[in-house]
Chain A
Amino acid sequence: MPRRQDFYSDSPGGFEINLDHRKLKTPQAKLFTVPSEALAIAVATEWDSQKDTIKFYTMHLTTLCNTALDNPTQRNKTQLIGAAVKFLETDTVWYEMGAQLDFGERVGYRVEEPPALAELQKNEWDPVVTWAEKRYNVTIGSSTSILGPNIPASTKETFVSHLASYNMWALQGIEFVITQLKSLILSMSLIDRHITVEKAVLLSRLEEEYQIRRWGNVEWAHDYDLCELRARTAAGTLFVHLCSESSTVKHKLLQD
């Protein structure tokens, strides 16, 4: 395959991506337009990195833009925010009871056995929960009950209100990150630049990391999952930041 030059171009509606002199389109055949130049450059770089075949599973920013443009799940802002805040009830930081729950907020459920893991959860997650409580002026807490902690309605309202301050594109990104990390708390911590992507992913995978340290690493499974989660989380975070910078984004495209 001959080397393609992937450029982007500026237009009144936003930045477009040119592939071999044709304009990139979304899966639903809309013109691929992004509100931020830096985002367009990053997307063009994704296309430029493809060698013999187009590996869409590595093109996370392109995928996120397609989702923002096509909105295939047809969700409006309120529904997106609702989906994001719903994770608060079952955040990773709450639950870990042996069986991995595939939905809901990670950092709240705490195990009681084994003690080493419980200790690890306390040392790693408590500071993040404390930070979130301070930053957002809310009560969160933690629990060893399978029902999780009781999140006050006011806490949920605070997060709903905070998320509403983001535009639709950034919100798609936020919801994506939350789904990957299975935690609203970790996602906000990351998006607020309190922790790095690597740290957020580590905290999200705390039990896996604990088991790996005890039983050994299996590269084709563990590292594979780790790299994929890092890539997606990093893409989502970058996407949110690039779509939120008021000085550089084209607002017309971002109107809800």
Chain B
Amino acid sequence: MAALGAPLRTLRALLRELRHAAGRSYRDSPAYRHVLAAFRAHRVTSEKLCRAQQELHFQATTYLCLLRSVREHEALHREYHGRGERSPQEVAGLVGFRLPQQPGGKS
């Protein structure tokens, strides 16, 4: 099994990522509840549960990597690749013009 570090750290980081992803009602989201429940269910540290604990931790680490990487990738995309074309208003603004307002039609 890969060296994964402290499970509690993974859990905290994972819950933080889920908070980013879900927004205001993150505590009610299925993912948040599922992750917490899974970690609680495996809290008992006996010899028998060791392997199941490790597999869960690996899964949590992988999911954390997914959420984090998607967020970072999207941030980079927005920063460097997302600009796209300027709108007609922006282009006009570049040379100090404003587009005419037409009644009942194009703005």
Residues in A lying within 8 Å of B, measured CB to CB: 3, 7-8, 38, 41-42, 44-45, 48-49, 55, 58, 60-61, 193-199, 219-220, 223-224, 227-228, 230-231, 234-235, 237-238, 241-242
A-B contact pairs, 26 of them (CB 8 A): A7-B30, A8-B30, A38-B34, A45-B29, A48-B22, A48-B29, A55-B74, A58-B73, A58-B74, A193-B1, A193-B55, A196-B4, A196-B62, A197-B61, A219-B80, A223-B72, A224-B73, A224-B80, A224-B81, A227-B69, A228-B69, A231-B66, A231-B69, A231-B73, A234-B66, A241-B55
Interface size class of B (residues with CB under 8 A): 20 to 34
Do B66 and A235 have beta carbons less than 8 Å apart? yes
Q: How far is the CA of A84 from the CA of B74 in the complex (A)?
A: 29
Chain B 61-102, CB-CB to A under 8 Å as 1, else 0, gives 111011001101110110111000000000000000000000
Q: How many A-B residue pairs have CB under 8 A?
A: 92
Chain A CB within 10 Å, residue with most, of B18, B34, B70, B74: B70
Q: Mark B43-59, 1 if CB is under 8 A from A, else 0.
A: 00000000000110011
- Determine the chain A residues whose CB is within 8 A of the CB of B18 once the complex forms: 45
B36 on interface, CB distance cutoff 8 Å: no
Interface positions of B (Cβ within 8 A of A): 1-2, 4, 18, 21-23, 29-31, 34, 54-55, 58-59, 61-63, 65-66, 69-70, 72-74, 76-77, 79-81
Contact A60–B63 (Cβ < 8 Å): no
| Beyond A41-B34, A45-B21, 5 additional pairs, beta carbon < 8 A | A44-B31, A48-B22, A193-B54, A193-B58, A235-B66
Contact A45 B65 (CB under 8 A): no
The residue in A3, A230, A234 that gathers the most chain B C-beta atoms within 10 A of its C-beta is A234
Minimal beta-carbon separation of B56 from chain A (angstroms) = 10
Query: A91 vs B29: C-alpha distance in the bound complex, in angstroms?
Result: 41
